[in-house]
Structures are given as C-alpha cells and as structure tokens.
Amino acid sequence: MVKEQIRLMLADVDGTLVDSKKQVMPVTRKEINALHEKGIRFGIASGRSPYAVRHLIYEWGIGEAVDLIVGFNGAMVMDCHSGEMLSVLSMSGQALNEIQENFQEFQFNLGIYDEESYHVLYDDERSRKTAESNRFSYVVDGLEGYAQKQLPKALLTAEPEELDRITAYYEAMTPPRYYRMFRSANDRSECVDPQLTKSKGIAILCEKLGLSREEVMTFGDMMNDYEMIRDYVGVAMGNADERVKEAARYVIGSNDEDGIGYFLQKEFAHEKNA
C-alpha cells in the first residue's frame, strides 16, 4: 500500500487538525507526537500566518512534533528547526485596490498580515478576533502603503450572507488581474496570487527535501486544500467539502471525531520507516 512510502505528512488547521473548540483532540495529538519514531516528518499547511502557527503549535501540544509550516496557503514555507523562511508567489499589493473596486457595492472588511501584526481597513469585532486568535497585534490603518508592497495574502471578511453574494459575484466575473479568491470560512475569503495554491508551496518544499508526491500525505477539508489533496496522497476529513472528498485517496472521521488521530492509529500503528 502507498502508506509504506510516506515520509512527510502535512495537515490543514481549521476544520482539519483542530476541532470546533480550536484544540487538537487527544488521539490526534498523541499520534502526531509519535510520528518521528516512525521516521515520518510532520508539518502544517494552512492559510494562517506561519508566525502565528509557530506559537500555536505549542498551545496545541504538538510543538516538538512540527518540523515545517507551509503558511499563507503556500506563499511561505518555514523550517521550524532552522527558522529558514522561503517565499513563494507573493501577491502584488495592487490587489488591494482591485478588490475594493470590484466589490465596492458590498459591505466587507479587508485585512493583511505583516509578520506578527494584522492590519485592516477599519475596526470591527470580526477583525479584532482574527488578530487575537493569531496572537497578533491589531492595527487599524486603512492598509495605507500596502498597495506598493508584495503581500502573502489578504483576507476579505463579511457577514456570511453578504459573503455569499460576494462569492457569487466573484464567480461570475472575468478573472481579476492581481488576485484569486476562495472561501475559507463562512465569514471569510482569502485573496492570493492568481497562480498560488498550497500544492505549489508543498512542491517547492518537496524539491528542497528530495521527496516525491507519493511520499507526502496531506489532510484537509476546504477548497483551499483541494489541490494539495488532489496532487499528493490526499486525506479528506468527514466534514470536508464534497469536492475535496472526491479528490482524496482516503476519507476519514471529522475534526470533531479525532479523525486524524484514529486514522493514524489504524493505518500507521506498525510503520517504521527508514
């Protein structure tokens, strides 16, 4: 079976690695912490900032088990041991102007990460919680000056019903020049370079580590995980989008059912990779 070949596992965070309470469940935590004994590296592949994830992994009880963080949907790759950071397909800051022009008839906020701070167009509770959940400082500056910079991504946030309308409008548009947008939560869409996917960030990492696609297992649930589930040995959560499930090799329990943990316990209990 293909699982005997696995040398690296990468998990999305929200809806995948963490449960609805934003914690890593007990069996999942135990099995991840045991992966190194089986010769398997473990990493995070998230839309979140790698700077935020680097702190959160210790709160989740897996800090020593995480070797790599593929953050910002593939735009940055962090080696947790050396601190080395690779940038992949940053987005032009001109996207901020394009987004505001495209959706000017809708009500939304726009935010960007700058290392360990979160900057927004205007203050609202949703944005304050975003900064707080990442353990970042919160800056309301109208995103002044960022249109002239390169950015890993931007967050477009709105009430779920308004975001439904924004999403439908976006899907009917001519593809924008500076960004690609996809929904990552009921009240949040992410905007990245048009060519960027988590899969592309992982491909850069695989080249650096000398790994083939069949040696990498990925876990995910949302459409920003679709390409990495399709392109590697993909594992979809029970709560995943149906399109992600269709692209996966395996479908497992949900994030609230210790899905990753029980899958690893069953499939990798006796693996001892070289």
Per-residue H/E/C for 37-104: HHCCEEEEECCCCHHHHHHHHHHCCCCCCEEEEEEHHHCEEEECCCCCEEECCCEECHHHHHHHHHCC
Question: What is Dmax (Cα atoms) for the chain?
Answer: 57
CA dihedral 159, 161, 165, 166 (to 10 degrees): 20
pLDDT at position 115 is: 87
Distances (CA, A) of 42 to 76, 80, 272: 16, 11, 15
Would you state the pLDDT for residue 40?
A: 97
Q: What is the structure's pLDDT at 265?
A: 95
pTM of the predicted protein model:
0.82
Which pLDDT score, from 0 to 100, does residue 270 have?
58
Catalogue all structural domains in the chain, each as residue range(s) with its CATH number: 2-88+196-267 (3.40.50.1000), 91-192 (3.30.1240.10)
Q: What pLDDT does residue 2 have?
A: 62
Regions of the chain where pLDDT drops below 70: 1-3, 270-274
